[in-house]
Structure 1
Amino acid sequence: MATLTTNTTVRNPLAAFGGAILAWFETYADAKSRRSEIDALEAKSDAQLAEMGLTRDRIPHYVFRDLFYV
């Protein structure tokens, strides 16, 4: 008895396109992320934040101040 095995890779062009779109959205989301700014502010002391006119509970409001008005 003979066994024949072939290793062919069939790529779906639609799946490749979808993967590229997903990768673009992930890159865009990372670029728009403000987590690093929040981390930098949270690392400051209370005195440093007070010099900036901030308290710890207002850090998210400060970081996202251009997106909403409260």
Structure 2
Amino acid sequence: MAHAISYTDTYPKAPLFTRIAHGLATWIDSYAENQPRMRGVRALQAMSDAQLAERGLKREDIVRHVFRGIY
């Protein structure tokens, strides 16, 4: 005797609203991360403390320095 099991959808999809919310959150995150100011923050964070000191910055002041024109 043979048994056959067919799965049409092994991993069921999330509800529509959940997929829309996840897609929107992913887009917002991607948009925010690719802004010039965020690239500036990442560039300064990649510097050593000595390099930041040459620029007159402390590590904890990077975000405040980069976003100073907004706040």
TM (norm. structure 1) is 0.54
Counterpart residue number, 2:30: 30
Counterpart residue number, 2:6: 6
TM (norm. structure 2) is 0.54
Counterpart residue number, 1:59: 62
Q: Number of matched residues?
A: 60
Question: What 5-or-longer segments of structure 2 have no aligned partner?
Answer: none
**In structure 1, distance between residues paired with 2:26 and 2:6:** 35
Counterpart residue number, 1:41: 44
**In structure 2, distance between residues paired with 1:63 and 1:30:** 19
* Matched AA of 1:64: F
Question: What 5-or-longer segments of structure 1 have no aligned partner?
Answer: none
Secondary structure of the 2:64 match is helix
**In structure 1, distance between residues paired with 2:20 and 2:6:** 28
